[in-house]
Amino acid sequence: MVILSGTSAPALSQKIAEILKIPVVKREIGRFPGGEIRVRILDDLSRKTVVLLQSLENPIHDHLMELLLLADATKRCGSSRVIVLIPYLGYSKQDQIFRSGEPLSSRVIAQAINTAGYDRAVLLELHNENILTFFRPKAADLSLKAVFADKMKPTLQENALVISPDDGGLRRSLEFANLLGAPFAKLSKTRDLATGEVRIHRVSIPVSGRQCFIFDDMISTGATVVEAAAFLSEAGARSITVCATHGLFTKGWESFVRARIDRLLVSDSVPLPAGAPTYVEVVSAAPMFAQTLREYERA
Ligand code: R5P
């Protein structure tokens, strides 16, 4: 087994390679004069299982194109099996038609990857697990819930409460609460689809004096966690810890000044933007990915 990395997450690829003691494939990724992406694999891949790792974060279209071209090149280089490992799947929030006239974007992305070709796809904390059905031939959706929960357990107080920031996150928050052995509540959230503005209206049970945990699949602009934390703080929460698998922070850190978050944990599914507040911690997904790849190799 060897690992081949696009330009999105070389540090994560390196970590997985170190854990599995497998080589990182030498490759070139550049541009043709017209702006087209040019990739070239420099190592011999014949009869090898190739793990092709690429996170579809910003600049997402470059990263997507690299992934498609690398997948094609990998097959042409005689590999025996290609596992595409996509720690963050861009466009996953476009998992349904919200307004008439829109495309089903997450399906379009999955189909493009299907066309480039692979034997198995590994994804992480999908926004909606139905997206898995768009992938052919085989795809798995891993979760870091247990990893985050294990990190949180030593800090757990008797009055701990897990709070889902919205209806879409109910199931994953409930699973997180079960892992912690803590009760569960939910916030009522609305988002203006045109402006993206998020409003939190109420919480299902009182939070005053309680240790509150929010679990979410991703922080994109930050609006959801910032508004949720502000609401919970106003409602008397004693502490607020946020665990979110994908920390995109697309609008930077400015809005987090008023967030009143005590701890914020994200994974290395995408690189953390510079300037993070001191309460932000990164938990690596590499051990979990390595374990999964080991199991595939044995199977
Ligand atoms: C919502 O459905 C998701 O689970 C996240 O809560 C949301 O994507 C976060 O986005 P933002 O950070 O822009 O509020």
What are the catalytic residues? 189
* Centroid of ligand 1 to alpha carbon of 198 (angstroms): 9
- Is it the case that residue 258 has pLDDT exceeding 90? no
Convert the pLDDT of each residue in 209-247 to its tens digit.
999 999 999 999 999 999 999 999 999 999 999 999 999
**Please, are residues 162 and 180 in contact by the beta-carbon 8 Å criterion?**
yes
User: pLDDT class for 26, splitting at 50, 70, 90?
Assistant: very high
221: nearest Cα among 105, 98, 93, 107: 93
Closest residue CA from atom 10 of ligand 1 = 220
Amino acid at 20: L
C-alpha to C-alpha distance for 143 and 151, rounded to whole angstroms: 14
pLDDT at position 282, please?
98
DSSP state, residue 275 = S
d(CA 285, CA 231): 30
pLDDT of residue 257: 86
pLDDT-above-70 percentage for the chain: 100
Token digits for 200?
A: 């939190």
Contact (CB, 8 A) for 189 and 165: yes
| pLDDT-based confidence at residue 277 (cuts at 50, 70, 90) | very high
Per-residue pLDDT for 183 more than 90? Answer: yes
C-alpha 225 – ligand 1 centre gap (Å): 8
Q: Which atom of ligand 1 is nearest the CA belonging to 93?
A: 8
297's CB contacts (< 8 A; 6+ apart) are 1, 49
Sign of CA dihedral 128, 91, 221, 278: positive
Confidence band, pLDDT 50/70/90 cuts, at residue 177? very high
Instruction: Give the list of residues 6+ apart from residue 135 with CB closer than 8 angstroms, or none.
Output: 110, 113, 114, 121, 123
Which sign does the torsion angle of CA 251, 256, 258, 264 carry?
A: positive
- The whole-chain average pLDDT of the chain stands at 96
Residue 123 token pair: 């994804």
pLDDT range class, residue 77, cuts 50, 70, 90: very high
CA geometry: angle 12, 17, 150, nearest 5 deg:
60
